[in-house]
Amino acid sequence: MLTKALVLLGSPRPRGSSESLARHFMAGAEEGGLPGETICLREKRTLPCTHCGVCERTPHACALAAEDDAEAVLRALEGASLLLVAAPIHFYALPGQLKCLIDRAQSRWARPQDEAARAAVRPTLALLTAGRPRGERLFAGSELCLSYFAQALGRQLTECRGLRGIESPADISLEQAAAMRDWGRQWAARLTVAPSLPGPPGAP
């Protein structure tokens, strides 16, 4: 399978801060030889989970799968060699449509997984931005939520970077943009050399 990066843009705002930083990451990854693509969640139809219980029964399929784009998006996230989830923080939480998609991954939790499948995790990165400059646990809840989302997809949340005080792309410094490109290049180098390793760049 082709090694590639997939960026999930979870912001409801076009050309916002999280999207701008994610595109710097993708540019760096492509400079490093790792091809990539993006999924813009605001352009997809995502219905909320109704907790109907259908996915808890074999074959563990979501009752809403034929009614929106969530199933196709989840399959794409599962198949990516590297996944970056980029989103702003709203009231100390992830945006509504992204949370809808996460809730729809309940069908994945309901499926039995063998030990080999659980061991074959693929790295997932999170890029979170917040206009608020303070807050000790500003990103903590969202990071935990994304960690379990990644597990449901047979993935591992390997790194989470949270940037404060960024209300719009105009607030992104040249240093922050350069750091995102470097982050993408680091992961490109890691995956093209050893694509099976889920740990962060520099980990033993």
Contacts of 7 (CB under 8 A, 6+ apart): 22, 23, 25, 26, 36, 37, 38, 39, 83, 84, 86
Domain boundaries, the chain: 11-193
**pTM for the full model?**
0.90
Rg of the chain over all Cα atoms, to the nearest angstrom: 17
Superfamily name and number for 11-193: Flavodoxin domain (3.40.50.360)
User: Mean pLDDT in each 10-residue stretch from start to end of the chain (204 residues)?
Assistant: 86 95 97 94 96 92 94 95 96 96 92 62 94 92 96 94 96 97 96 60 45
Whole-angstrom distance, CA of residue 100 vs CA of residue 95: 9
